[in-house]
Structure 1
Amino acid sequence: MSHLPEHQVDNLVTRINRIEGQVGGIKKMIIAEKPYNEVLIQLNSARSAIQGISKILLEARADHSLMNVSDGASLDDELKQLREVIKQYNKMN
């Protein structure tokens, strides 16, 4: 991972824990037969949180690639790996 604070494992795990809480809340809302619009609002919130983590991971991979190239790694190899991450990121959007 990158050296930026938002890219650190602890930060990402905290975000995942929040999302787990959101999903648990959504499950309870469905069981309680809450109005659909309220459930959809929470689903959109969880989706947005997941997309936020995806963005952080994409940024971290880009940072990692740049650091590797500056340390002598193959530019072609790093670009190939970065393209694969971008491809996966784009599937989410």
Structure 2
Amino acid sequence: MSHKIEHQKTELVKRLNKIEGQISGIKRMVENEKSYADILIQLNSSRSAIQKISQILLEAQAEHSLMLVNEGENLETQMTVLRQTIIQYNKMN
């Protein structure tokens, strides 16, 4: 993991816990037959939170790959890893 605070495992877990809570709330909304509009608002909020985590992970991978290359790792290997990460990130959008 990266040295940036938002890339650290504890921060990512906090974000994931928040999303987990949002999803549980959405489930309760469905069970309680809340309005579709209100449910969609919460779904969009959860999706945005997931996209933010994806962005943080992509940034962390880029930073990590650059640091490894700087420390002597093979550039082509790290470029391949970064490309694969970018491909996965793009599938989310």
Q: Judge same fold: TM > 0.5, yes or no.
A: yes
SS at match of 1:12: helix
Give aligned-pair identity as a percent: 60
What secondary structure is seen at the aligned counterpart in 2 of 1:20? Answer: helix
Tell me the alpha carbon deviations over residues 42-92 of structure 1, each in whole angstroms, 9 at most, x when there is no partner.
000000000000000000000000000000000000000000000000000
After the TM superposition, which residues 3-18 of structure 1 pair with which residues of structure 2 at under 5 Å, given as runs?
A: 3-18=3-18
Q: TM-score, normalized by length of structure 1?
A: 0.99
Aligned to 1:57: 57
How many residues are matched?
93
Q: CA RMSD in A?
A: 0.3
5+ unaligned residues in a row in structure 1: which ranges? none
Q: TM-score, normalised by structure 2?
A: 0.99
For residue 87 of structure 1, what is the amino acid of its counterpart?
Answer: I
Structure 2: 5+ residue runs without aligned partners? none
Offset at 1:6?
0.3
Q: Give me the whole-angstrom Cα distance separating, in 2, the residues matched to 1:2 and 1:18.
A: 21
Q: Name the SS of the counterpart of 1:86 in structure 2.
A: helix
- DSSP-derived class of the 1:72 partner: coil
Write out the 4+ residue segments of structure 1 that deviate beyond 6 Å after TM superposition. none
Report the Cα distance in structure 2 between the residues aligned to 1:26 and 1:12, rounded to whole angstroms: 21
Q: Give the residue type in structure 2 aligned to 1:82.
A: L
